[in-house]
Amino acid sequence: MKPWLEEMINERVGLQLVPLIDCVFVLLIYFMISSSMRQSEADLSLTLPGQVAQSKEIKMPDEQIIEVLANGSIVLNEKTYADPSKADLKGLEYTLTRYRESSQMANTTAMITIVAEEESTHERTIDVLNACAGAGITSVTFGSTD
């Protein structure tokens, strides 16, 4: 065997740490230079608007709150709609239709706020949305249970 080959076989090949440390420092310097310092949101200074005098009377919309409970019940004006077969949803739609018609006569906007508990099913919320659509109410918002 040739001497240089024997020397290569006998030499222990190990992990070279010095080039690895050099690469880590080069990467560290690269990321430090390329990063940008952003001002965090808590440090932003902003001024909220103050009170403004109103020049004319504002008509507030007539609002009803519909609650969707975790047990599947729907509550509107302390009337509970809890039939699992959804047979009572026609009554809800009828009540909402009368509400919309009375709001139109009063020249206000009929507005529904749906407040659903976290454990309630989405199906019951969709049932309320369908009843609102059937009654012709287009101003529907969602509220929180807080």
- Tens-place pLDDT, residues 55-79: 666 565 567 889 998 888 888 888 8
- pLDDT for 79 equals 86
What percent of the chain is predicted at pLDDT more than 70? Answer: 72
| Phi–psi pair at 59, nearest 5 degrees | -85, 120
Torsion, CA 56, CA 57, CA 61, CA 65, rounded to 10 = 130
- 31 or 145: which carries more pLDDT confidence? 31
Give the three-state DSSP class for 114.
Answer: strand
Give the three-state DSSP class for 142.
Answer: strand
**Residue 96 CB coordination number (10 Å):** 23
Give the three-state DSSP class for 81.
Answer: strand
Residue found under tokens 């070279």 = 16
Token pair for residue 128? 């309320």
Q: Is the overall model pTM greater than 0.75, yes or no?
A: no
- Tens-place pLDDT, residues 92-108: 899 899 988 888 888 88
Would you say 137 and 110 are in contact if contact means Cβ atoms under 8 Å apart? yes
**Domains of the chain and CATH, by start:** 62-143 (3.30.420.270)
